[in-house]
């Protein structure tokens, strides 16, 4: 029997319809702007396999709420990828993909990405709490991001909601304590891979500095 880890996450912000740029779409005062939030439970079905999978794929269930899309829409199928290495070995992405269906039956795909990279300054909280989102017409398979964009914007998680999220972690199957520890080591280890350079390359007169 394998060990499963799951947790619940809520994020909210704004999107603008007819816009494909994330930052412009996040401005709440623009014509076509509307509030958007999601409530998702992320489930890692096998934490041991998850740790060795370069895509670190998990499932996502729950709902998205946006009045302009028709209110509260259940997730028909959902994917989540944790700390995927794309092009730069010193950056990672967290990826979200949700298949939705509007009140009239029209299929839509919500995609989101958290860009986890060590930019100037200490930005780990901003990177891990900011999701850049688009809503596409139709159901797009994982890895497909070409399509008709209905809306774009940014949603975030705030510190009180993050603290609440920490209380939602659950495990089942073999070795639940070990499964939680394994997920924590993976999460913190990936953060170290990205942001540890800030400490490794800090001013230290006691030894040689890494050349850039």
Residue 48: which pLDDT band, with cuts at 50, 70 and 90?
confident
Neighbours of 95 (CB within 10 A): 21
Phi, psi of 33, deg, nearest 5: -80, 150
Asked whether residue 93 carries a pLDDT value surpassing 60, the answer given is: yes
Asked whether residue 211 carries a pLDDT value surpassing 70, the answer given is: no
Tell me 30's DSSP state. Answer: S
> Mean pLDDT: which of 83-97, 109-123, 145-159, 197-211 is highest?
145-159
Asked whether residue 133 carries a pLDDT value surpassing 60, the answer given is: yes
pLDDT attached to residue 209: 34
pLDDT attached to residue 204: 46
What number is the average pLDDT over the span 80-94?
83
């Amino acid at each position: 029997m394998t060990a499963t880890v799951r947790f619940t996450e809520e994020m909210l912000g704004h999107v603008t319809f007819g816009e494909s740029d994330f930052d412009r779409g996040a401005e709440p005062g623009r014509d076509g702007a509307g509030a958007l939030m999601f409530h998702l439970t992320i489930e890692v079905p096998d934490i041991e396999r998850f740790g060795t999978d370069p895509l670190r794929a998990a499932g996502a269930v729950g709902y998205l709420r946006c009045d302009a899309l028709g209110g509260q829409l259940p997730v028909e199928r959902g994917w989540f990828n944790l700390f995927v290495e794309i092009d730069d070995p010193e950056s990672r992405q967290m990826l979200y993909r949700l298949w939705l269906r509007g009140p009239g039956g029209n299929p839509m795909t919500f995609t989101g990405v958290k860009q986890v990279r060590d930019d100037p300054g200490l930005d780990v909280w901003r990177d891990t709490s900011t999701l850049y989102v688009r809503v596409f017409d139709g159901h797009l398979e994982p890895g497909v991001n070409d399509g008709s964009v209905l809306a774009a914007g940014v949603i975030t998680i705030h510190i009180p909601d993050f603290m609440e999220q920490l209380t939602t972690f659950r495990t089942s199957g073999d070795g639940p304590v070990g499964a939680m520890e394994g997920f924590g080591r993976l999460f913190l280890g990936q953060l170290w891979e990205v942001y540890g350079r800030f400490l490794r390359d800090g001013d230290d007169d006691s030894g040689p500095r890494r050349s850039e």
